[in-house]
Amino acid sequence: MVITLIGYRGTGKSTVAPLLAAQLGWNWVDADVEIETRTGESIAAIFAREGEAGFRSREAGVMADLLMRNQLVLAAGGGAILNPETRQAIRAAGPAVWLTASLDTIASRLADDPTTTGRRPALTDQAPRSEIAAVLAIRAPLYAETASLTLNTEGRSATALVDEIVLALPGLIARRSR
């Protein structure tokens, strides 16, 4: 089984994943880091060279590979859910937890992250806040379609989020087996 954390960048997937994995005694992987490791390039460099379509193709392959593992907590890239086959594979592999935050919180977290600009490409030619709003408008229904559980990360510690996920797991697993 794989527990996949989904959501827009800056919602806490890479922070929650290692803590959740430690609590469960599982491994964890950040899909974006895995793509960078396999290619030897940043996501921004892949976007610049291959465009979004090239990156999304690479992402789909890495996600398919990771979703075949067992006892893994997977921090998915924010756009991984754009691919219908990836959404289906996420749901088939185990519970998907959608981490959410307000537009203001996401913008603030991304502005405070020194790696955002170097590693993550702009997804539109809009200002950051406008880009977040535009991209979320497209992705929110796909996150909702994929999610087994939705957690708002506003003002909550990563530890509190992990505790809530662990408490919800038996019910999420039981629903899957019906």
The C-alpha atoms of residue 66 and residue 47 are separated, in whole angstroms, by 21
The CA-atom distances, in angstroms, between 148 and each of 34, 57, 122, 173 are 24, 25, 29, 10
The mean of the pLDDT values for the chain is: 91
Q: What's the pLDDT tens digit per position in 7-61?
A: 998 899 999 999 999 999 999 999 999 999 999 999 989 989 999 899 999 999 9
Name the pLDDT band for 84 (thresholds 50, 70, 90). very high
- Residue 105 counted as domain residue: yes
Tell me the β-bridge partners of 75: 5, 30
For 161-175, what is the mean pLDDT? 90
Question: What total of structural domains would you count in the chain?
Answer: 1
> What's the token pair of residue 78?
């924010």
Name the pLDDT band for 111 (thresholds 50, 70, 90). confident
Residue 5 has pLDDT above 90, yes or no: yes
- Residue 176 counted as domain residue: no
Considering only 69-83, 84-98, 102-116, 150-164, which range has the smallest mean pLDDT? 102-116
Name the pLDDT band for 173 (thresholds 50, 70, 90). confident
CATH for 100: 3.40.50.300
Residue 162 has pLDDT above 70, yes or no: yes
> How confident is the model at residue 121, as a pLDDT?
62
> How confident is the model at residue 63, as a pLDDT?
98
For 142-170, what is the mean pLDDT? 96
Name the pLDDT band for 122 (thresholds 50, 70, 90). low
> How confident is the model at residue 130, as a pLDDT?
87
The CA-atom distances, in angstroms, between 8 and each of 4, 35, 71, 75 are 13, 17, 23, 11
- Residue 114 counted as domain residue: yes
- Residue 70 counted as domain residue: yes
What is the C-alpha end-to-end distance of the chain, expressed in Å? 16
156-177 exposure pattern, b = at least 16 Cβ within 10 A, e = fewer: eeeeebbeebeeebeebeeeee
- Residue 46 counted as domain residue: yes
User: Between β-strands 96-100 and 72-75, what pairing exists: parallel, antiparallel or unpaired?
Assistant: unpaired
For 16, the domain range is 2-169
Full DSSP string of 21-87: HHHHT-EEEEHHHHHHHHHTS-HHHHHHHHHHHHHHHHHHHHHHHHTTSSSEEEE--TTGGGSHHHH
How many other C-beta atoms can be found within 10 angstroms of the C-beta atom of residue 93? 22
Percentage of the chain with pLDDT > 90? 76
- Residue 153 counted as domain residue: yes
Are the beta carbons of 124 and 134 closer than 8 angstroms? yes
Name the pLDDT band for 110 (thresholds 50, 70, 90). confident
- Residue 175 counted as domain residue: no
- Residue 177 counted as domain residue: no
